[in-house]
Structures are given as structure tokens and as C-alpha cells.
């Protein structure tokens, strides 16, 4: 079920009314209802795959119970291996073998599998106790707002909210409605309209000049941001309507100062997941095994960082898909982070030398960061490495300075205006939790409601409803 579908327009109000006005005084009833609603929500993608969602969630729940009963480290390690093998095995079969044997790729499998893996890891590491109540545990592991595309919520943060009585808060719900509104604007007006042009340019990249290919790459970069951040805003907003707070997943990433800052702002829940469960444990393990200051002639601290980042970003690429382009995309970002890390100390020396003139270098770094990210999205979007190579080489050809021409170019002005509105609003709110958090809050209320009305009207007049474009990250 898509957040931007008629089915969901009916589903969400029904869930909201029953949740607060029928089951609102009984926490147990609320949780049972949300669990059923989650399974119903997921069944709209393919009711036959409900067994997979339930199986992965129940495996994590059952493994957690056994982990809590273990009294020896050997027992815990055996159960940890069992849990990882079971969940990662299911993910591998359905995600990485589906093209060869015809298995359908279940929507959101990477997201709810990682949610379940977090549950097992945190119990093993002693960060949380296993939940004995099957309803609360299964609800935590199949909470419908985050099922299909995250955020990758940590059970240690979600479960206490599931177990705690919830009271309707008008302010929280109003925040949620503003996030839903902005998320829908990002998806329907920005992302889906960008997709029309980007899909055409990427599909016919051999027929277009470099300037058109650059526009296609920029539009896809905006599309994937508006699409995925839009989903995250909607999911977070829906959860606020239910009195449950989710982790922040995006923090205006295209305003990042450098590549490290970008990955602190983009898909925050996934990058912190890999940081906590892959990078930090691996780095700690290597540091214990390499006590010397130098390793193979390289500073040990830098070697450990580079090794940890390489493995982490290789796995991040594989998480997105088994295609070589995803692996190269992951390693590309890993390499940029390693280079950034290596240049940190030289940058500090340059900053001291240039003092007030250093601002020019900062601006240049921002521009280069965005440029590198746009190139990386070409690799990510391409269907193969050869297509990515052809696209990039065509973009940086002499025709980069030619007049752009592509289908529908004369009708693109409303989209460009909408994109300008998107980034102006987000720049204004760059220090807030989300774009509409305080927009016009200190102005007369009528201005705020005029803006909301104009946002709704823009979706009605300029929204792309006919193409039925799913959220990009549903495929992951």
C-alpha cells in the first residue's frame, strides 16, 4: 500500500479513529490493533508474503527469548550465529537470488530484516532485555509506518514506546500532519515529476548531449532525495499521529559541508546502523589485534579507519543490491570518506594559514561534495556499470557546453519553481527537525494556512498521479 494512494487515504483515517476512539483506553487492545493493521498494510503488496514478515519477526522474537535465558557466552554466540544466519539467509534468498529463480522481491525486506537483526544484536550485547510479550515484540518488529522503507528504527528505542501507555497530544499530531504534508509534496510534486525527465534521459542517454545528461543526473539526485526523504517525513508524521516518535532519517543532506557531513544527514538510520554494528565492532577488533603504531608502513589508526570504512561501505552497497553498480557506488563513497579522513589534518593547517580567506575553500568543498554525490547517483541509478560509464563519459564530453534538449523541456518550468520552493523552505528551516516545524509560526496564522493551502493546490495541479510511481527505496 503506497502512502500516496487512495487506499491509504482510506486506511490511515480508519486506523487513527479506531486506534484513539475505540481502543484508546486500553493499551493492550491498541497494540493488538496496530499489529493487525500492520499485517493488513503489508498484505496490500502481496498477501502471500505475509508469512515472510511474520517468520522473520517471530525468529527474532524467539531468538531473543533464548538469548535472555543463556548463562554462558558460548550459548549466546551459538544463538547469535543462528539468528544472523536465519535472518540474513532469508534476506539473501529473497533479495539476491530472486532474479535467477523467479522469486518475487518482497517490499521492504531489507528494512524489517535489519530491524530484527538490531533486536537480536542489542539483546546479545546487553543493551536491552528480550520482550516476553509476543504482541509487543511482533508489533515492534513489524510497525507499519516503517515497514516498507524505514527509518531503520532501533527496537531499543521503539519497544519502550510500544509498552508505554500513549495519550493523544495535539501538538505532536499537528507536527505529524505538517510532516505528512511536506512529505507528500516532496514525493508527488518533486520526485515523481523529476522521474519523468530523469527516466527518459537515463533510458536514452546515448542520444543526448552532455548538458542534457547533466540535467538528468541533477534531476535524479533531486528525485531520489525528495522520494526517500519524502517517505521518511510521511512515516515519521504518521507515527506522531499514533503517539510514537521515530528517529530522524534526513537532515537536509544537500546542504552538507563535506562528504562526512553528508552521510551524517542522509539515511541517518541506516548509516548509524552500519556504524554501530559493523564499523565500530570491526575497528575495535582490529585495534586489539594491531597494537603497534605502524602496520605495513601505514599509521595504524588510519589503516584501521580505512579497513573499517571499506568493509562497511562494501556491505552498504550490497545492502542496496547485488549489482556491480551498487558495490562500486558503496566503494566510491567509502573512498571519498577515506580521502576526507586523510585530509583532515592538512585542512586544519590550511585553515590557520588562510584564516578569513578560508571561506572560499569551504564553499569550493561544498560544491565539489555535491558534484561527487551527483556522479555517484549516476552509478547508483544505472542498470549496469557499462551504462554508468557511458553516461558519465557522455556527460563530460564537449557537448556538456551545448544547449540542452530533451522531451518536455518546454514544460519543465513548474517543476523548476517547485524545486526552488523545496530548497528555499528547507534552507530556511535547516536548523530545525523538519522543514515545516516552525515555518510561519511567528507570523499571523492566516499566512501559515495560505502556505498549507498552496502546497495542497500544487499537489492537485502539478502532482504526478497518473504514472503510479512507487517509492524508490521499496526495491531495497
* Residue range 325-357, pLDDT digits in tens: 999 999 999 999 999 999 888 877 777 777 666
Provide the percentage of residues in the chain whose pLDDT is more than 70: 96
Q: What is the 8-class DSSP label of residue 152?
A: -
pLDDT of residue 362: 81
Separation of CA 164 from chain center: 27
* Residue range 424-441, pLDDT digits in tens: 999 999 999 999 998 888
Number of Cβ within a 10 Å radius of residue 130 = 20
pLDDT above 80 for 181: yes
Q: Alpha-carbon distance 320 to 222, whole Å? A: 19
Helices (H), 275-323: 280-289, 300-320
Number of Cβ within a 10 Å radius of residue 64 = 25
Confidence category of residue 140, pLDDT binned at 50, 70, 90: very high
pLDDT above 60 for 380: yes
β-sheet bridge partners, residue 299: 294
pLDDT above 60 for 100: no
pLDDT of residue 468: 56
Which of 39-48, 175-184, 395-404 is modeled with the greatest confidence? 175-184
Which cell is 475 given? 526495491
Helices (H), 164-290: 170-184, 192-203, 210-241, 259-262, 268-274, 280-289
Q: Alpha-carbon distance 58 to 140, whole Å? A: 11
pTM for this entry = 0.92
Amino acid at each position: 500500500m503506497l502512502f500516496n494512494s487512495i487506499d491509504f487515504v482510506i486506511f490511515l483515517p480508519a486506523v487513527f479513529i479506531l486506534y484513539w476512539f475505540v481502543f484508546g483506553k486500553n493499551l493492550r487492545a491498541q497494540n493488538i490493533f496496530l499489529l493487525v493493521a500492520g499485517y493488513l498494510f503489508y498484505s496490500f503488496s502481496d498477501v502471500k508474503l505475509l508469512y515472510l514478515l511474520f517468520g522473520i519477526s517471530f525468529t527474532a522474537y524467539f531468538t531473543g527469548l533464548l538469548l535472555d535465558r543463556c548463562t554462558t557466552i558460548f550459548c549466546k554466540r551459538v544463538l547469535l550465529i543462528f539468528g544472523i544466519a536465519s535472518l540474513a539467509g532469508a534476506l539473501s534468498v529473497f533479495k539476491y537470488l530472486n532474479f535467477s529463480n523467479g522469486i518475487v522481491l518482497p517490499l521492504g525486506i531489507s528494512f524489517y530484516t535489519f530491524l530484527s537483526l538490531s533486536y537480536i544484536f542489542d539483546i546479545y550485547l546487553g543493551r536491552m532485555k528480550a520482550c516476553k510479550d509476543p504482541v509487543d515484540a511482533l508489533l515492534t518488529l513489524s510497525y507499519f509506518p516503517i515497514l516498507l522503507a524505514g527509518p531503520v528504527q532501533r527496537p531499543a528505542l521503539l519497544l519502550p514506546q510500544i509498552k508505554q501507555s500513549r495519550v493523544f497530544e495535539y501538538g505532536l499530531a499537528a507536527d505529524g500532519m505538517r510532516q505528512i504534508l511536506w512529505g507528500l509534496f516532496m514525493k508527488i510534486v518533486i520526485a515523481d515529476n523529476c522521474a519523468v525527465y530523469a527516466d527518459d534521459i537515463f533510458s536514452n542517454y546515448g542520444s543526448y548531449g552532455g548538458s542534457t545528461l547533466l540535467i538528468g543526473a541533477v534531476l535524479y539526485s533531486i528525485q531520489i532525495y525528495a522520494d526517500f526523504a519524502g517517505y521518511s517525513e510521511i512515516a515519521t508524521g504518521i507515527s506522531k499521529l499514533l503517539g510514537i516518535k521515530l528517529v530522524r532519517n534526513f537532515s537536509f543532506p544537500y546542504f552538507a559541508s563535506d562528504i562526512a557531513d553528508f552521510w551524517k544527514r542522509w539515511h541517518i538510520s541506516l548509516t548509524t546502523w552500519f556504524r554501530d554494528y559493523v564499523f565500530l565492532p570491526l575497528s575495535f577488533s582490529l585495534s586489539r589485534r594491531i597494537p603497534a603504531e605502524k602496520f605495513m608502513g601505514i599509521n595504524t589508526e588510519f589503516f584501521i579507519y580505512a579497513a573499517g570504512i571499506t568493509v562497511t561501505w562494501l556491505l552498504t552497497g550490497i545492502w542496496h543490491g547485488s549489482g556491480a553498480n551498487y558495490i562500486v557506488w558503496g566503494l566510491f563513497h567509502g573512498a571519498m570518506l577515506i580521502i576526507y579522513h586523510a585530509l583532515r589534518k592538512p585542512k586544519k593547517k590550511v585553515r590557520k594559514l588562510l584564516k578569513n580567506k578560508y571561506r572560499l575553500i569551504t564553499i569550493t568543498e561544498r560544491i565539489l561534495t555535491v558534484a561527487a554525490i551527483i556522479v555517484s547517483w549516476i552509478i547508483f541509478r544505472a542498470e549496469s556499470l557499462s551504462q554508468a560509464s557511458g553516461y558519465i563519459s557522455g556527460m563530460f564530453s564537449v557537448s556538456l557546453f551545448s544547449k540542452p534538449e530533451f522531451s518536455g523541456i518546454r514544460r519543465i518550468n513548474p517543476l523548476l519553481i517547485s524545486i526552488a520552493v523545496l530548497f528555499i523552505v528547507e534552507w530556511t528551516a535547516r536548523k530545525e527537525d523538519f522543514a515545516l516545524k516552525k515555518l510561519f509560526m511567528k507570523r499571523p496564522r492566516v499566512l501559515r494556512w495560505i502556505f498549507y493551502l498552496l502546497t495542497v493546490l500544487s499537489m492537485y495541479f502539478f502532482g504526478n498521479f497518473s504514472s503510479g510511481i512507487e517509492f524508490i527505496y521499496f526495491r531495497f
